[in-house]
Structure 1
Amino acid sequence: MAKMHANANMTLDNMMKAFRAATKKLYDAALEGDLPSLLNLLQQDPFILNRYIIEKPGRFSQSPLHVATSLGHLEFTKEILHQKPELAEELDFSKRWSPLHIASSKGYLDIAQALLTEKPNMCFARNQDGMNPVHVAAINGQIRVLGELFRARMQAARERANGGETILHLCVKFSQLEALKYLLDVMDAQLVNSKDSDGNTVLHLAVATKQPEMVDCILRNTSIEINALNTNKLTAMDIQTQNRKDSSRDDEEISRSLKVAKALQVKDTLELHNKNNRNWLENQRSALLVVASLIGTMAFQVGINPPGGLWQDDTNLHIAGTSVLATKAPGRYNVLLISNTIGLVSSLSVIILLISGLPYRKLFIGILMFIMWIAVSATTFTYLMAILLIFDLDFYKTKKFDVTPGHWKTLYLSLIVWDCLMALVLLGHTIRFIVKQIRQGEQSSIKLYRRWFTRSTYHPPAV
């Protein structure tokens, strides 16, 4: 029995030695791009590539496909992909780079196309720094490969690296102006205003790293928010002002570009915001005062001169100077009076609050606008009641009426339009409130992310 175990162990050792020897020959062939040697090895052992995936020899940090790709051996790479396309999904042990990462870094367009044909979703594969092949192509200025990757999987360009950096941030960080220009041409403007984990837009970063051509390119070719604030509450102009310690040419060009784009420091931004806010409040105050005065005037006229007029003589049934409708339809006239009074009191309340000298803010204006909604609605209801009382007094006795006349149809249509308008206004404010809450939630999530995660530093691999 012991002899059988010994023989088995010797057989296993011999197999391992043979596999290691074959693997070394495979890597030697990959280094040389020796396609005949590869074909010969596959003829001797058709499963050698399968065994690499299963056993992964520890002495080699990269697969044969990694090696062939890094050295630009196109035909050798194609043959490995033909024999074992799964190797395109393998990541090396040191940097977690895929073969597509390497081709993107080196700018091997033909090899990148071959890899994309087999495994296009490897555009989303991330290395240890959170970068996918699209990021790697951009930071190395490989425009042709970048275009191929972008066409294969455009969404990969929207992925963020560690630290929340977008592909545009990486272009600025690694001084790849041409890659930045290409991406600004082919991508939409939404990505331009994205911020990294420090709240910096690409404009913040370009100014901080003193790259005037980058700054000019961003300002000329995008709809970037020029006065956006980072987590330190600084605009791009603030960063330029703080970092400018001499009158170098780069500083002068950056300052000139920012001034032409009307960039502001945070103090000026706040002043402009406060000025705009004051103007908005003043405009709203003036509009509310005009509308409240108009509604108050109309309600006052209905009160002293009700629909149907006043009795001109005294009899047993009425007294001169009293409302005709109050005698003919007292119940409905009371509804009209209540509605009109609500409109009058609401509008007068708004007028009193506006001229009282109280400090008015957005919340105060919002409350007044709500009161005006009540006044406008009451005025509308008063009008409808007045029309009903004038056109058909018998309706209030019989509780029946013919809806065929044109004035009934007009009233119903007006009521439907009014209800729809009020519903749209309410829906609009509801959506606005929900969107505001969602944005606040996103900001809270970003702050939490920044608190718990730190930025890692990227080191280009030696392949």
Structure 2
Amino acid sequence: MDLRLQQAAESGSINELYALIDENPYILENIDAVPFVSTPLHVAAVFGNIEFAMEMLNLKPSFARKLNTSGYSPLHLAVEKEQSDFVSHMLWHDGGLSRVKGRNGVTPFHLLVIRGDDDLVAECLITSPECIEDVNVDRQNALHLAVMNDRFEVLQVLTGWIQRMSQKDAYYIENRVLNKRDFDFNTALHLAAYKNDQQASFTFFEIRFSISCLETITKMPVGGAEPS
């Protein structure tokens, strides 16, 4: 990347960005042509420059899903650098960015779970509900990661979301999320039991009971039997 472009991204100078584009109209195109590269959006993410990032997204939307040579998207870096406002703006701009798979299949949503940021985890679920289904290369979903990293507050957010979503399709949620098994055939409940994590285990039993009740209700016939 041109050093001046990097400096513009670091400082958040949109004027300097356009001065460089005026000098070389292909400056962004040349970066985009590289499969794995650090883009100006990656740099802006590290420094939390929201306005610059939004301008960059207008010019090159593809940068939002571009991985650098370390296997991270701009949103991955923003999460790692604890740029919470930046992350929030990106999520509301395009909720699907929380699902971009980087190194080891880890998504920005997974990173937020691991770091225990329950507020941004909730924002991910609102802006992209399907993110709760995503798994890493070890087939671990957000529930597995929350248990493994002792993120009980995040686990409560996740199970609360699952409970609400199960009202629409309990069977789907139970099988695609709650009962998801990792490479070692463990569900998140198994991991909680192995760790003797009573809080997490009780939470899983509660949500399973709730879903079981919903499934029973949906199978009940409507009205009474017809008179003979």
Taking structure 1 as the reference length, the TM-score comes to 0.39
The structure 1 residue matched to 2:58, chosen from 54, 73, 82, is 82
Residue pair 2:92, 2:127 contacting (<8 A) in 1 also: no
How many angstroms does 1:76 deviate by?
1.8
Is 1:49–2:28 an aligned residue pair?
yes
Work out the CA distance in 2 between the residues paired with 1:143 and 1:178.
7
How many angstroms does 1:36 deviate by?
3.7
AA aligned opposite 2:31: Y
Name the SS of the counterpart of 1:222 in structure 2. helix
Residue pair 1:108, 1:145 contacting (<8 A) in 2 also: no
Work out the CA distance in 2 between the residues paired with 1:151 and 1:125.
16
Find the counterpart in structure 1 of residue 192 from structure 2.
Answer: 206
How many angstroms does 1:31 deviate by?
2.5
How many angstroms does 1:85 deviate by?
1.7
Once the two structures are superposed, the pairs formed by residues 150-229 of structure 1 within 5 Å of their partners are: 150-187=125-162, 188=166, 190=174, 191-219=177-205, 221-223=206-208
Find the counterpart in structure 2 of residue 24 from structure 1.
Answer: 3
> Per-residue CA shift, 1:84-106, capped at 9, x if unaligned?
22211211111x22122233444
Once the two structures are superposed, the pairs formed by residues 29-178 of structure 1 within 5 Å of their partners are: 29-55=8-34, 61-94=37-70, 96-116=71-91, 119-178=94-153
Once the two structures are superposed, the pairs formed by residues 414-433 of structure 1 within 5 Å of their partners are: none
Change (3 A) 1:157 1:168: same
Bigger relative contact order, structure 1 or 2, given CA contacts below 8 A and separation 6+?
2
Name the SS of the counterpart of 2:103 in structure 1. coil
Runs of 5+ unmatched residues, structure 1: 1-19, 225-463
Name the SS of the counterpart of 2:138 in structure 1. coil
Work out the CA distance in 2 between the residues paired with 1:133 and 1:55.
22
Work out the CA distance in 2 between the residues paired with 1:102 and 1:55.
19
Taking structure 2 as the reference length, the TM-score comes to 0.74
Name the SS of the counterpart of 1:93 in structure 2. coil
Name the SS of the counterpart of 1:223 in structure 2. helix
Q: State, as a whole percentage, how many aligned pairs show the same letter.
A: 27
Work out the CA distance in 1 between the residues paired with 2:103 and 2:130.
20
Find the counterpart in structure 2 of residue 348 from structure 1.
Answer: none
The structure with the largest alpha-carbon Rg is 1
Residue pair 1:107, 1:144 contacting (<8 A) in 2 also: no
Once the two structures are superposed, the pairs formed by residues 364-403 of structure 1 within 5 Å of their partners are: none
How many angstroms does 1:50 deviate by?
1.6
Work out the CA distance in 2 between the residues paired with 1:88 and 1:194.
29
AA aligned opposite 1:45: N
How many angstroms does 1:107 deviate by?
4.8
Find the counterpart in structure 2 of residue 383 from structure 1.
Answer: none
> Per-residue CA shift, 1:331-390, capped at 9, x if unaligned?
xxxxxxxxxxxxxxxxxxxxxxxxxxxxxxxxxxxxxxxxxxxxxxxxxxxxxxxxxxxx
Once the two structures are superposed, the pairs formed by residues 4-19 of structure 1 within 5 Å of their partners are: none
